[in-house]
Amino acid sequence: MSGVLHDKVSIVTGSASGIGRATALMFAREGAAVVVADIDAAGAERTAKEIIAQGGRAIAVTADVSAEADCTAVVAAAVAEFGALHVLFNNAGIIRRADAIGTSVDEWDRVMAVNVRSVFLMCKHAIPAMTHGGSIVNTGSGWGLKGGGNAISYCASKAAVVNMTRALAIDHAAAGIRVNSVNPGDTDTPMLREEARQLAEDWAAFEADAADRPMGRSGTPEEIAKAVLFLASDASSFVTGTALIVDGGGLA
Ligand SMILES: NC(=O)c1ccc[n+]([C@@H]2O[C@H](COP(=O)([O-])OP(=O)(O)OC[C@H]3O[C@@H](n4cnc5c(N)ncnc54)[C@H](O)[C@@H]3O)[C@@H](O)[C@H]2O)c1
């Protein structure tokens, strides 16, 4: 397929669902081969099959991105199947809606492992495979740039992603690798609906909060995917180390 990612090879973590799924489908429509990596094996297969049904190239890899062996396997699958690696979208993430008192040490460790250690591990193993340069996009959040209530582990993890992104950008610019974060505001995905459940709020009440924000609504996964595509493609060739906010003006 022709497109802005023509002949590129990409990895999208957490692409069984939500923002990752929408981005994997968009990358494929723009010509990239996609390694669909997710802890949800059936969901990863579904996304990969959807891409192939639309004429794209994809493989599904079941992986827990907090585990180093799984990260090396994802990178190895990209190179073995498609012969190179150009784009890495570190998107997998989880949230626990609780304050410090209500967050167990296990929950803290799991959020930090899935949201932060995964980005370190995927970059550690993907960067050596990006032998002709590349683009890495890490998913932060509006709550990586400001605080939020009842989400202490999540806020800490996403702030870490934003600043780790800057450090990676500095270290790997000379190798032709750009590293940026995309920072979504509320986006209608299974994760956001799970947050409403954890807070015991009904969805309509949760969604009504968006009415106070400048654009008055939540985003769609495709609207986040478009920003990721910009950062992944040569359209952003002079952009590295940045934190791109995609939130309908929420942080403004
Ligand atoms: N939805 C929002 O409002 C919002 C806002 C800001 C940031 N984000 C971030 O966007 C990213 C995607 O979120 P989403 O809303 O699409 O969520 P989602 O729950 O719909 O999708 C997340 C995907 O990650 C996968 N995943 C979870 N743990 C994993 C692991 N250990 N290894 C591999 N895969 C794993 C899940 O199986 C799922 O397919 C997350 O990093 C999230 O923090 C979301």
Query: What is the CATH number for 114?
Result: 3.40.50.720
What's the pLDDT tens digit per position in 69-115? 999 999 999 999 999 999 999 999 999 999 999 999 999 999 999 99
Length of the chain counted residue by residue: 252
- Compute the half-sphere exposure of residue 219: CA atoms within 13 Å on the CB side of its CA: 24
Q: Are 155 and 112 a contacting pair, CB within 8 Å?
A: no
The answer to whether the predicted template modeling score (pTM) of the entire model surpasses 0.75 is yes
23 domain-assigned: yes
**Ligand 1 pocket residue status of 66, Cβ below 6 Å:** yes
Distance of CA 15 from the midpoint of ligand 1 (Å):
8
120 domain-assigned: yes
**Ligand 1 pocket residue status of 248, Cβ below 6 Å:** no
What's the pLDDT tens digit per position in 149-204? 999 999 999 999 999 999 999 999 999 999 999 999 999 999 988 888 888 788 88
250 domain-assigned: no
Longest dimension (CA), the chain: 52
How many structural domains compose the chain?
1
The angle, 0 to 180 degrees and rounded to 10, between the axes of the packed helices 68-82 and 118-126 is: 40
| pLDDT number for residue 195 | 85
User: Rounded CA gap, 245 and 142, in Å?
Assistant: 7
**Ligand 1 pocket residue status of 180, Cβ below 6 Å:** no
**Ligand 1 pocket residue status of 71, Cβ below 6 Å:** no
Distance of CA 194 from the midpoint of ligand 1 (Å):
11
37 domain-assigned: yes
72 domain-assigned: yes
Annotated catalytic residue: which of 27, 89, 143, 154?
154
1 domain-assigned: no
252 domain-assigned: no
How many C-beta neighbours within 10 Å does residue 53 have?
9
222 domain-assigned: yes
Identify the band that residue 64 occupies on the pLDDT scale cut at 50, 70 and 90.
Answer: very high
Range of the domain at 127: 9-245
| pLDDT number for residue 25 | 98
